[in-house]
Structures are given as C-alpha cells and as structure tokens.
Amino acid sequence: MRLLHVFRLSAAAGAIALAASPGVALALDVAADKAAVDQVLDGEYAHLDALYRDIHSHPELGFQELRTSAKLAAEMRNLGFDVTEHVGKTGVVAIYHNGPGPMVLVRTELDALPMEEKTGLPYASRAKQTWNGTETFVDHSCGHDIHMASWVGTAKALVTLKDKWHGTLMFIAQPAEETAGGAKGMLDDGLFTRFGGKPDMGFALHDAPFAFGQVRWISGVESSNADGLEITFKGRGGHGAMPNATIDPILIAAHFIVDVQSVISREKDPAAFGVVTIGAISAGSAGNIIPDHADLRGTIRTFDNAARAKILEGVRRTAQAAAAMAGAPPPVVTLTANGKSVYNDPALTARTAAVFQAAFGDKASVNPAPTPTSEDFSEFVDAGVPCVFFNIGVYDPARVAAAQAGGPPLPVNHSPYFAPAPEPTIRTGVEAMSLAVMNVMQGA
C-alpha cells in the first residue's frame, strides 16, 4: 500500500502538520526545535568530537567492548540517566524519566570490525584484538563511532531541552551488531522486562557514503536478510607434484565459488535482490602441499523469503555437486540466519519524514530502494516495537559530485579507507535523531 502524505508548512514559524493515514496528526515547531538543538550542539560539539576521536582510536570487537561500553555508561550517568551495564554481556541501558508519556528507544552500536585501517588519519586506529583465535587489527570502518557520538549528543540535547517533551527515554548501546548477536543478547537478558516494559517506538541511524547534511529514509522494508555461510570441503592431502594421488579441496572450493553465482544469475528471479559473497578462504600451509580440507566463509543477502529459500537451497546443492564432481566426501555446509530485514513502520516513518523534510529541506529524501546491507536492529522490530531506521551522509558534497562525475570512487562502509567528515556528520545525526524523538514525545 502506498501512503499519500500532505504537508502544510509555515515558513515563518517552521510549524508543520501532517495528514497521512487515519489517526496520524502532527503539530510541531520544527524550526524552533532545530535551533534549540543547534544551540546545544554549539556548546557541546568539542566534547563530542573528542569522544568520537577517542572511540575511533580505541575500537573493540563484538562482545569485547569493555572500554567502549564503560565510556558511554559514564557519559550517560553524567547526564542524569539511570545506567545499567553488562546487559547482554557488554551492552548498556540508560533510562531517563521525564513525566508521563511514551517510552522511546534510541539505539547505538558499540562494536568495530576485524580489519586494518588505512585512512592515514591522525587519530587512526592501530588497535588489535583476538578474532576467531587470531590477533587482528580493529577498525571502526562501519561508522559506529559516529553513531555513538551522535547518540551521546542526542541524549545531551534531549536532557537540556526536556521542557519540550514528556515520557521515558530508553537509550541502549548494543554490542556485536556486526556479528548479529548483540540485539538478541540484550533481549534475552531482559531488555524489555527489566527496564520498565517494551518501548512504544524506537529509532536508530546509520551513516552511509553520500553527502553530509543529508538524511534519507524508506518506509517498509529497509534492509536485507543476512545469512552466514560456512563450508568445509574435504579432500585427500598429498604432494603438490602428485595431484593424481590426492583429492584437491582448493580446486573444489574454486569450482564452488564460481558455480554458486549461477544460482544468482540463472535460478533466482532476476527482479529479486540476492547476493552470495565469499569473504574468507582458509586452506593449506605450503605451496607444495595439497591440503586435506578447505574452509570458506561468506554471506548471503536477500529481501524476500522466496529468493532467500531459492539461494540457500542452491548454495547447498552447488557445494555438494562440486565435491561429488571431484569424487570427494560430502562437504560440511552450515547456513546461519544472522539477521532479518529491518521493517520501518509506515505510520511512524511518515510522521518522522515530515519532520525531516521541514528541518532539512531538499537535503531530506526517500531512499530509492532498500539497502543491501543487514542489521540486527530487526530484533527489536520483530519483538513488537514500531521503529524507524534512517541514514545520514558522511562525505563532502564536492567529493560526492566528483565521484559521480567519474572521479575517485567513494570508500563505502567496511572499506579500510572509510573516513566520514566528523563534525557535519555528527551534527546531522544529533539534529535528526533529537527531532525524531521530540516529535513523538510532544504534547503528552
């Protein structure tokens, strides 16, 4: 169903009213509220910038975010929140009561990625941690450090402007988003039973490689399903000069990596989104030894259940066929659901979109399609909380325009060169999230 939105905007006061589906109405002085948030930011930004650079320089992997979570917990206590640490292992829950009204969840993530940063920034990470038994560099190359600074800045703005809203804030800092276990861990640890009940609605943001100052959203399906893929191909090891005496699992793995793409190109509905990516291969110890096994790890992304089922079945069948073709034992195929698609509540999205359009003008727009990335923020949606998940840009508009004109491409999230422009990105994050929250907590 397509929602038709009608906006009436007063340029003088910035007051807007929204008529969408029945029961949705809004009267909000967006211009005044945005100016008030900006005033808070003017006095607070130096602190937020220092916080961002510190977190960026000291990233931590999922369920290892001890320093990061302690730092955010201290920030929230200083703002007057009731704070509980170690929820779902390393998560933080911060509650702020401000009279009767709805309870609103605002989420940030804590974790970084197991990769080396190559941005050359003066505050670049050189941190290392253990990942799957091996020491690795760690980098906030997905932008969770931007999210955390925006989260703290939003908390500061809302506490400072508490005469403009009423209700209860549930600010959560979630561990292990990258491995899709943190949200479920917090829910299993009583997030919606220990802290005053299930929130009435929730919000989260994510930075993305478009121009800073811009805000984007989409109603309905926002992101993809994610399934993890792990395959062990078994062979028979031996001398590299005598392959006839062996069964080469690396060759089997190579056949699979190429052949599995035919599931995407020849079996899946061409109109349906679907991706199979092999991101890691581990096999062998020397160039003149054929090993006895090869391990693959990857990810599968889809929007709809029919495409997902088709691809999962195709991955299994292709792996078995590659092994059978070589006369090898059956492979061990493990497919793990790592997160369902995030669904943005249409009514809440319409209400939030109206505020964004009034606050940011032509810098606010609808995403043309769901994003192919995945998010375990879906756990909160699936638990029954109407939510909106939106995006903010990170790059200088001139740099974006140059890339669109054929210049140097923009590093995307998870690139070792991903480097958001901190101040305009964090400011937009605080503005957008503060306005979204105040919008649903006014008039109580």
Q: What is the pLDDT of residues 141-196, one digit of tens each?
A: 999 999 999 999 999 999 999 999 999 999 999 999 998 899 999 999 999 999 99
Q: What is the reported pTM?
A: 0.86
pLDDT tens, position by position, 212-251: 999 999 999 999 999 999 999 999 999 999 999 999 999 9
**45-87 confidence digits (pLDDT tens):** 999 999 999 999 999 999 999 999 999 999 999 999 999 999 9
Task: Give the C-alpha separation, 119 to 444, whole Å.
Answer: 46
Length of the chain: 444
For 304, residues 6+ apart whose C-beta sits below 8 A from its C-beta are 272, 273
Question: What's the whole-number mean pLDDT along residues 385-411?
Answer: 98
pLDDT at 19 over 50: no
Tokens of 225: 């399903």
Higher-confidence position of 12 and 363: 363
Confidence of residue 321 (pLDDT cuts 50, 70, 90): very high
Helix (H, G, I), strand (E, B) or coil at 5: coil
Q: Judge whether 23 and 137 are in contact, CB under 8 Å.
A: no
Report CA-CA distances (Å) from 372 to 23, 113, 118, 302, 375: 32, 18, 24, 8, 10
**Cα 137 to Cα 113: distance, rounded to the nearest angstrom:** 8
SS3 of 9, please? Answer: strand
Per-chain mean pLDDT for the chain: 93
pLDDT score of 338: 83
Domains, the chain, ordered by start: 6-223+341-440 (3.40.630.10), 226-339 (3.30.70.360)
CA–CA distance, 99 with 126 (Å, rounded to integer): 45
Instruction: Output the pLDDT for position 28.
Output: 66
CB burial readout 361-387, b (16+ within 10 A) else e: eebbbeeeebbebbbbbbbbbbbebbb
pLDDT value at 11 more than 50: no
DSSP per residue, 48-87: HHHHHHHHHHS---TT--HHHHHHHHHHHHHTT-EEEEEE
Confidence label for 12 from pLDDT (cuts 50, 70 and 90): very low
